[in-house]
Amino acid sequence: MSGIERSTNYDMERYQYLSEYDSALPDDLPVIPEAQSDWIKQCKANDYSLSFALSDEITPIEVAKTFRVLGGYTDKNKDKWLKLQNTFARAWLLGVWRVEETGEIVKLEVEK
């Protein structure tokens, strides 16, 4: 192989690798309960906002239980409460997460 052929071959392999790398899922996917996964899918399908999805008054019972598992927000459980909400919000924003109970990876496709 001449230098030009090797260079072209290297560039094509590099391009293919970078394309695959860009489309790969992150290693640190948020892990959320199945009820939260279903709730995100329902809210996204109806074009609801993140603040609506996090509101205790309107979430389904299963999701509300998940958020209330800590007994609601108190100074004592502030860190755990925020982590629970932050993980939900990360899953919402990324559009991809792992379901805690099943290990299933859910990736919401952007509608065109």
53-67, pLDDT tens digit by residue? 887 665 555 556 666
Which residues does 55 contact at the CB level (< 8 Å), separation at least 6? none
Q: Is the pLDDT of residue 90 over 90?
A: yes
Q: Which of 108, 110, 102 is nearest to 32 (CA)?
A: 102
Reported as a pLDDT band with limits 50, 70 and 90, residue 69 is low
pLDDT beyond 60 at 84: yes
Residue 50 token pair = 């993140």
Q: pLDDT tens for residues 9-62?
A: 667 777 676 666 556 666 789 998 888 898 899 999 999 999 888 876 655 555
Q: What pTM was computed for the model?
A: 0.64
pLDDT at 41: 92
74 Cβ contact list (under 8 Å, min separation 6): 81
